Amino acid sequence: MKIPAVIVSCALLVATPLLAREKTDVLVMNNGDRLTGEIKGLDASVLYVSFDYILGTSSVDWSKVHHLESKQLFIVKTENGSVYTGTLSTAETGAARPVRIEVKENAEKNVALEQQKIVVINQTSNRFWERFNGSINSGLIYSKGNQTTQYTFGAQVQYPRERWGAGASYNSSLSGSTGVTTSTRNDGSLYYRRLLRWNNWFYTGVGNFLQSSTQDIDLQSNIGGGFGHFLKNTNHTTIAVIGGLAWQNTRYSPSTELQGSQNVAAAMAAADVELFKFDKTNLTVTGTVFPAISKPGRVYTNTNVTYYVKFLGDFTWNVSFYGNWDNEPPPHFSGSDYGTSSGLGWTFGNK
């Protein structure tokens, strides 16, 4: 296992116990059942709740919740991009009227929101370590017949706040076979997003780093920024598009006068799509295109597709596809690297 992967794993495992809270939140279901636990968060129409008497995190259908109360702080986001921070309660409404969730921001200000319009609830706190959530996944395949080993590792972490959010991810894959040079690929990414005053608009900064033995890339760095818009943002679908500018530096191996470090200024166009089904499956598709400005005609493309299924508590099984392409690589260098992987994953934090 790569040293960065070990560091990330240890850091996430150490941080996890610090996320624990008192389980004093109250849920009342449409059928009258009353439950007491810890509300972790809401995502994809699933309310995640932890109970003292149930191992792991339980998933509750958001549409079946009639009443909730919590004195903890939450970040609440709606379909139109509005964001609020406060404690939660349920406003009194008539039997025929939609359930309304009250977000108490302070002693003088309460905001009542229609339950069906709320798409995300995240725990937050004045304590730094209680704001994180993320996941870890890994897979290993070994075949004795041709002495083939395939290994994958990935980790991601998010830090959500009221008007902004940041995150990081790291993915590593290794494939080796008797008589064949071992193939390795490592990529990492960082992002920062901040909502603008206009509903569902935001600006963003991104950084991507890639090492690929298939393409003889020692290190490829992309630094960019731009503006984005959520075309759709509901409990079942999220679609966001981003446009901006980026700078790319690529260092090849072996380094020669012609195939050394290359610097390129490029435009950036990206799309993020997420499709949800209640506590069952999640499909995430991200794609980024970098048309080179300083080298007209050259285009870089990156894409990642992940499909996961929950099967036990916080554990998932996932299938992923990754790929990156360069339509004008240096002579005798490969212009593409792509592959698939599958494995087990574990989520922590608000889910």
- Given a contact cutoff of 8 angstroms between Cβ atoms, the answer to whether 321 and 338 are in contact is yes
Q: Which of 251, 324, 326 is nearest to 292 (CA)?
A: 326
Q: List the single range of 7-21, 28-42, 250-264, 315-329 with lowest mean pLDDT.
A: 7-21
Kindly state the average pLDDT of the residues 296-318: 87
Interatomic CA distance for residues 18 and 179, integer angstroms: 47
Give the residues across from 229 on adjacent strands: 201, 241
Rg (CA), the chain: 22
Interatomic CA distance for residues 343 and 12, integer angstroms: 19
Taken in order of first residue, the domains within the chain and their CATH numbers are 7-126 (no CATH), 130-348 (2.40.160.40)
Q: Which residues contact 269 (CB under 8 A, 6 or more apart)?
A: 241, 242, 243, 288, 289, 291
Q: List the single range of 217-221, 234-238, 288-292 with lowest mean pLDDT.
A: 234-238
End-to-end CA gap in the chain: 27
Residue 292 DSSP one-character state: B
Q: In this predicted model, which residue has the larger pLDDT, 12 or 208?
A: 208
- Given a contact cutoff of 8 angstroms between Cβ atoms, the answer to whether 166 and 186 are in contact is no
What phi and psi values does residue 63 have, to the nearest 5 degrees? -70, -15
Cα-based distances in Å from 125 to 70, 139, 162, 200, 306: 13, 34, 11, 24, 30
User: In this predicted structure, what is the pLDDT of residue 298?
Assistant: 94
Q: Which of 72, 99, 97, 67 is nearest to 86 (CA)?
A: 72
Kindly state the average pLDDT of the residues 239-250: 95
- Given a contact cutoff of 8 angstroms between Cβ atoms, the answer to whether 172 and 154 are in contact is yes
User: In this predicted structure, what is the pLDDT of residue 313?
Assistant: 67
SS3 273: strand
Chain centroid, CA 129 distance in Å: 18
- Peptide bond preceding 291: is omega within 30 degrees of 0, i.e. cis? no
Q: List the single range of 122-131, 169-178, 326-335 with lowest mean pLDDT.
A: 122-131
pLDDT (tens digit, 9 = 90+) per residue, 56-91?
778 888 888 988 899 888 888 888 778 888 899 987
